[in-house]
Every structure is written in structure tokens, then in C-alpha cells.
């Protein structure tokens, strides 16, 4: 317990968590069967304003000598321009230090970018070490919406997404897109936050959450939200407040990451 | 219409299609539930099906194992058995947004794109290569299955799109006309015309709306009605004539 507390202080330094008060919140979208419009009651929780960075994950690896799924299984999936929509390529050299494979460069100069190429399983290990947890599906949406009930926390039109999120602006993924200065991830906090001061809720990386969409959903699948640098309005269009993605808990993609929620005292 | 749809679901279920978890159980709209379930069914080819299933002793999603059959086991399969293997066992992790988010009015729509459905897996490099390298055989095997079952599984539809198998259009049209409830077949017909850059289709408002419009996405759709239905079928038939004559 003491160790977990110390490592938490180290890994989450300068990360002023945003307190979301307990209460009833409206989430979901009308007509969506798996995330219907509804009111939920939640306890208060404190969520990180930024996605977890390479620097924070490195601290975990240095302290624990943890090897990620991608390092042990050599089955990470990476992206390069020229792939058809929704296609990724397997790269046995890819892991969090080389999220798109060694040939595409490392993260040495990107320590303030979100950590990627990690699996849900890896994230659980990080959270245990750091004494934090992932937000639930409901908590993530409440934090993202920041009191709004529109499709985006800035309204119903996605026209201004570029001000708030690192997303793919190209028509497809055949050509590189650096229109916003970033083809892959951007440093956390590079774009405008939502009304509660949370950055990158849309885009940059998909953020894993806990919870299931269906009671009978298998335990090999996890959910993530908010879209990523890969997502475009012409492809998945997942950078919004209501969509919920799904991926294998051992899968490592270079557009998957996470942000954390503080553990309450006595629940660590 | 409702009775027809429910009957069709019963027929589809008896053919042994593999259903993906769709999250539709709570809807009170039986028409939509039936439609979404039917549209998400994968075909299970009969060629060595039991043999392939037995060889897949590594359960997909197991914490320490992979989903793919090892090279030695794979090499022992005949072409037909490999066809079955690939159709029933995607090998590669699917990215997070490869998920179908059904809405409560799907049965009233014709989608621009086939739904991206996965249980966490999609086809990998070896599998796409198999489909393209054995294009003619894969199409012939799909034709055989479609004629026998009078339905086209979602996995078949995706391979038809991938292979740009326009030669199969008459069979798709006949199959559609048998039940006229598989809107996914209309989607495939449109995708084939789009891929073939068929000028009469590219000139339509439908094409503009579903594929060319600035905001066209994988979620785009158009209304399902007899007019759109007839239009797509007739145009696809003309496209087939134009490409074969």
C-alpha cells in the first residue's frame, strides 16, 4: 500500500486531477442501442486532465522492469500512410518505445506524448503500480461532456474538432496527414480543453475504460473512447461524446492509450 | 413485413451462421432486432468445417495464446479447408473502432458501407493474401455456398467487396430478390459500382450523398424504400452487363 502510494506520487506529479462531483448526469445518445440516452447517478471522482504520458509509463517500467504484451508477444499493430481504411500492419519490433515500429522512430523526444502501443492488460499493471484506476464508461463520458448533452462538448457540429483534438483530417489514410502538425500523437494538452479543463478527450489516443456494454460480453474485450489521431470524419468518426470502441485486452495499437482516475482512500 | 422478417431470421439461424454480439437484446423493436441480427451473420462454409474447428484448439482470446493457426497445421489444409478457416477465423486484432453501433432504425436504411463488426479480431495479412491469390477459387466457393444457402454472410460480402467481384452481381441480385430483406446486399452492389467507377452510378445523387459528399463516412446511409431498392438493383445489373459485354 505504501509502495503504491509513493509510486503514485512519482508517476502523477504535476497532474492536477479534476474533481467531478457526485450527482446525476445525462449520458448516451437518442436512438443508440448500446449507449442510449439516459440519466446515471455516480459518486464523485477525480480524473487526470491529461492522458498518461510516455514519461509516466517509463517511470513504471524503470521501477518494475515490466515487459508489455507487445514486447513479449511481438504482435503490435502499427500504421503508416498508404493503408486502406481500417487496415493496420503487424510489426514485431513495435512496442511503447517504438509505437509504430523501430523503422519509424522512437519516443526519445516525445516523452510528453501519450503512451501508446500498450494493451489493456498492460494498463491494468500500470494502474496497480501507480495506485490509480481507469474511469468507468459512464465516468469517462460524464467527464468528457463537462455538463453538455450535445454530440461534442463544444456543440452538435464537429466542424471545430480541429481546435480541440488531434485527429486525422485527410479524406482517407492513403496519404500522410500533418494538417494540424501531427501525423501520429501530439504532446498531451496541445489542443483546447473542455469546460472542466480536461485535454484531449477527443483524438490523440483512444482512452481505455472499465465496464461492459452487454452483460454477457466476454472478458477478453475491453472498451475505449474518444477517438484517436487515426480517426477521421470520413472513416470511423469516433471523436465524440457517445461512441464506444472495443478491442481485445491483449491488443497493442499505436492509437491506444489511457487517462487515470484517483483511487479513493480506503479503496486502494 | 414483420412476419416475413421473423421467418427469414429463423431460416438464417437454421443454416448455422455465426452471430456477432451486437448489443441489440434490449430493443423493443422486433423489426430492427431481426434485421440487425440477420445483417451481422457470418457464413460458415461447409468445406472441412468440423476438421478446421477441431484444429482450432487454441481458443481465440486466450490470455497467452494467439488466434492464428500455426504454419504447420495451416499447410496441411486443402484449399477448400483454408477457405473455411479464413472465413471463420480472423487472425489479427481489430482496432478499437471496428465495432458496429446499431441504431434503432437500421431496418429503414441502406448503409453506405458494410458494418465493421468484430469480436476483437479481423482478417490479417496472410488471410487477405489468400483471398487475392486464390481470387477465382474463392469466388467460386462463395458462389457455391450462396446458391446452396440462398444467403450471403457478412464475411462473404466483405470478401466480395475486397476482391471487387463484379462477376458475381447476377447471383447477388437473384439472392436479394429471393427475400428482399438483406439491405447489406444493396450496399455491396453500390460498393462494387463505386470501386469500378461506374460513371452512371458516380453521376447519381445517391453516390454523392453516400461516398463523395464532404461529410460522407462509414456511418452514412440512405433511406430504404422500393424506389432506392429498384434503382440500385437495376443500375448494378446494367453495370454487370457493361463490364461483361
Chain A positions in Cβ-Cβ contact with residue B125 (cut-off 8 Å): 89-90
Task: Flag if A31 and B102 touch (Cβ within 8 Å).
Answer: no
Q: What share of chain A is helix, strand, coil (3-state, %, to 5)?
A: 20, 20, 60
The answer as to whether A172 is a domain residue is: yes
And the C-alpha cell for A104? 519509424
User: How close, in Å, is residue A44 to chain B by CA atoms?
Assistant: 28
Predicted confidence (pLDDT) at residue B1 exceeds the cutoff of 70: no
Are A195 and A143 a contacting pair, CB within 8 Å?
no
pLDDT digits (tens, 9 = 90+) for A21-57: 999 999 999 988 889 999 999 999 999 999 999 999 9
Partners of residue A89 in chain B, C-beta under 8 Å: 125
> Where in the sequence is the domain holding A137, given as residue range(s)?
2-156+165-262
State how beta strands A261-262 and A245-248 pair: unpaired
**Cβ atoms A187, A110 nearer than 8 A:** yes
Is residue A268 in a domain?
Answer: no
Question: What per-residue confidence (pLDDT) applies to B218?
Answer: 86
- Check if B223 contacts A (Cβ < 8 Å): no
A235 contacts in chain B (CB < 8 Å):
97, 217-218
Q: Do strands B121-122 and A221-225 pair parallel, antiparallel, or not at all (unpaired)?
A: unpaired
Beta-carbon separation of B101 and A256 below 8 A: no
Give the mean model confidence (pLDDT) for residues B212-240: 94
Q: Which of A53-62, B109-118, B183-192 has the lowest mean pLDDT?
A: B109-118
For residues A149-161, give the mean pLDDT.
96
Least confident of A15-24, B30-39, B169-178: B30-39
Average pLDDT of chain B, as a whole number: 84
Interface-testing mutation among A33, A161, A173, A256, with chain B (most B C-beta atoms within 10 A): A33
The contact set of A with B (CB < 8 A) is 31-35, 73, 75, 77, 85-86, 88-90, 121, 206, 213-214, 216-218, 220-221, 224, 227-228, 230-231, 233-238, 243-248, 250-253, 255-256
Which pLDDT score is estimated for A186?
98
Question: Span A111-123, mean pLDDT?
Answer: 98
Q: Is the pLDDT of residue A85 over 50?
A: yes
Q: A26 vs chain B: nearest CA distance in angstroms?
A: 19
Nearest to B218 by CA among B191, B197, B199, B193: B191
**C-alpha cell of B158?**
466483405
Q: What is the pLDDT of residue B11?
A: 31
Helix (H, G, I), strand (E, B) or coil at B103: strand
Do residue A245 and residue B96 have CB atoms under 8 angstroms apart? yes
According to the model, what pLDDT value does residue B17 have? Answer: 58
Residue A266, pLDDT score: 63
Identify the band that residue A157 occupies on the pLDDT scale cut at 50, 70 and 90: very high
Core vs surface per residue B154-191: b (16+ CB within 10 A) or e: bbbbbbbbbbebbebbebbbebbeebebbbbbbbbbbb
The C-alpha atoms of residue A97 and residue A108 are separated, in whole angstroms, by: 8
Q: What would the DSSP string read from start to end of A86-135?
A: T--EE-TT-BTTBTT-GGG--STT-TTSBP-S--HHHHHHHHHHHTEEPP
- B120 lies within 8 A of chain A by CB: yes
The pLDDT of residue B65 is above 50: no
The CATH number of whichever domain residue A199 belongs to comes to 3.90.1580.10
Position B59 scores a pLDDT of: 53
* Bridge partners of residue A26, in order along the sequence: A39
Helices B154-163 and B79-88 meet at what angle, rounded to 10? 110
Q: Grade residue B70 by pLDDT with cuts at 50, 70 and 90.
A: confident
Q: What is the pLDDT of residue A216?
A: 79
* Domain ranges, residue B50: 2-244
Cell of B101: 453501433
In terms of Cα–Cα distance, which of B50, B70, B37, B76 is closest to B181?
B37
Full DSSP string of B79-92: HHHHHHHHHH---E
Q: Is 90 exceeded by the pLDDT of residue A155?
A: yes
Lowest mean pLDDT segment, chosen from A8-12, A23-27, A148-152, B142-146:
A8-12
Distance from CA of B103 to the nearest CA of A (A): 5
pLDDT attached to residue B237 = 98
pLDDT band at A12 (very low <50, low <70, confident <90, very high): very low
CA-to-CA separations, B70 to B73, B116, B186, in angstroms, rounded: 6, 26, 37
Rounded Cα–Cα distance for residues B4 and A253 (Å): 43
Q: Is B124 on the interface with A (CB under 8 A)?
A: yes
Q: What is the pLDDT of residue B67?
A: 65
What is the domain count for chain A?
A: 1
Residues in B touching A228 (Cβ below 8 Å)? 96
Evaluate if residue A81 carries a pLDDT over 90: yes
Reported as a single tens digit per residue, the pLDDT across A167-181 is 999 999 999 999 999
- The mean of the pLDDT values for chain A is 92
- Tens-place pLDDT, residues B148-194: 999 999 999 999 999 999 999 999 999 999 988 899 999 999 999 99
- Nearest CA of chain A to the CA of B24: how many Å? 6
Structural domain total, chain B: 1
CA separation for the pair A185, A33 (Å, rounded): 31
Contact A77 B23 (CB under 8 A): no
Amino acid at each position: 500500500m505504501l509502495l503504491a502510494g509513493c509510486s503514485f506520487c512519482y508517476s502523477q506529479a504535476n497532474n492536477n486531477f479534476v474533481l467531478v462531483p457526485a450527482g446525476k448526469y445525462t449520458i448516451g445518445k437518442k436512438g443508440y442501442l448500446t449507449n442510449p440516452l439516459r440519466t446515471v447517478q455516480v459518486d464523485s471522482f477525480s480524473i487526470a486532465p491529461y492522458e498518461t504520458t510516455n514519461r509516466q509509463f517509463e517511470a513504471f517500467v524503470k521501477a518494475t522492469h515490466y515487459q508489455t504484451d507487445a514486447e513479449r508477444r511481438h504482435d503490435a499493430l502499427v500504421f503508416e500512410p498508404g493503408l486502406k481504411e481500417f487496415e493496420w500492419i503487424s510489426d514485431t519490433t513495435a512496442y511503447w518505445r517504438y509505437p509504430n515500429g523501430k523503422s519509424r522512430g522512437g519516443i526519445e523526444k516525445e516523452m510528453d506524448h501519450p503512451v501508446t502501443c500498450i494493451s489493456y492488460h498492460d494498463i491494468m499493471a500500470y494502474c496497480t503500480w501507480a495506485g490509480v484506476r481507469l474511469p468507468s464508461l459512464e465516468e469517462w463520458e460524464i467527464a468528457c461532456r463537462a455538463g453538455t448533452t450535445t454530440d461534442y462538448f463544444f456543440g452538435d457540429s464537429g466542424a471545430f474538432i480541429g481546435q480541440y483534438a488531434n485527429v486525422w483530417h485527410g479524406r482517407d489514410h492513403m496519404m500522410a496527414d500533418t494538417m494540424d502538425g501531427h501525423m501520429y500523437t501530439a504532446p498531451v494538452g496541445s489542443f483546447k480543453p473542455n469546460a472542466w479543463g480536461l485535454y484531449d478527450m477527443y483524438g490523440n489516443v483512444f482512452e481505455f475504460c472499465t465496464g461492459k456494454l452487454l452483460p454477457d460480453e466476454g472478458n477478453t474485450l475491453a472498451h475505449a473512447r474518444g477517438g484517436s489521431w487515426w480517426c477521421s470524419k470520413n472513416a470511423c468518426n469516433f471523436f465524440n461524446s457517445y461512441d464506444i470502441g472495443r478491442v481485445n485486452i491483449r491488443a497493442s495499437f499505436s492509437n491506444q492509450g489511457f487517462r487515470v482516475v484517483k483511487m479513493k482512500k480506503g479503496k486502494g | 413485413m414483420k412476419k416475413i422478417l421473423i421467418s427469414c431470421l429463423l431460416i438464417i439461424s437454421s443454416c448455422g451462421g455465426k452471430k456477432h454480439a451486437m448489443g441489440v437484446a434490449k430493443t423493443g423493436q422486433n423489426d430492427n432486432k431481426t434485421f440487425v441480427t440477420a445483417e451481422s451473420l457470418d457464413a460458415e462454409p461447409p468445406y472441412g468445417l468440423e476438421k478446421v474447428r477441431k484444429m482450432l484448439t487454441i481458443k481465440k482470446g486466450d490470455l497467452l495464446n494467439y488466434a492464428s493457426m500455426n504454419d504447420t497445421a495451416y499447410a496441411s489444409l486443402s484449399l477448400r479447408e483454408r477457405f473455411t478457416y479464413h472465413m471463420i477465423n480472423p487472425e489479427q486484432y481489430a482496432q478499437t473502432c471496428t465495432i458496429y453501433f446499431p441504431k434503432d432504425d437500421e431496418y429503414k436504411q441502406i448503409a453506405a458501407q458494410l458494418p465493421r463488426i468484430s469480436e476483437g479480431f479481423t482478417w490479417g495479412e496472410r488471410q487477405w493474401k489468400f483471398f487475392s491469390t486464390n481470387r477465382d477459387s474463392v469466388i467460386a466457393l462463395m458462389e457455391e455456398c450462396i446458391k446452396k444457402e440462398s444467403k450471403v454472410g457478412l464475411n462473404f460480402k466483405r470478401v466480395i467487396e475486397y476482391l471487387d467481384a463484379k462477376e458475381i452481381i447476377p447471383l447477388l441480385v437473384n439472392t436479394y430478390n429471393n427475400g428482399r430483406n438483406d439491405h447489406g446486399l444493396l450496399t455491396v452492389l453500390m460498393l462494387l459500382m463505386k470501386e469500378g467507377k461506374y460513371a452512371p452510378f458516380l453521376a447519381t445523387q445517391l453516390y454523392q450523398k453516400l461516398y463523395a459528399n464532404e461529410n460522407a463516412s462509414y456511418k452514412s446511409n440512405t433511406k430504404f424504400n422500393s424506389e432506392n431498392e429498384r434503382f440500385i438493383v437495376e443500375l448494378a445489373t446494367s453495370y454487370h452487363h457493361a463490364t461483361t459485354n
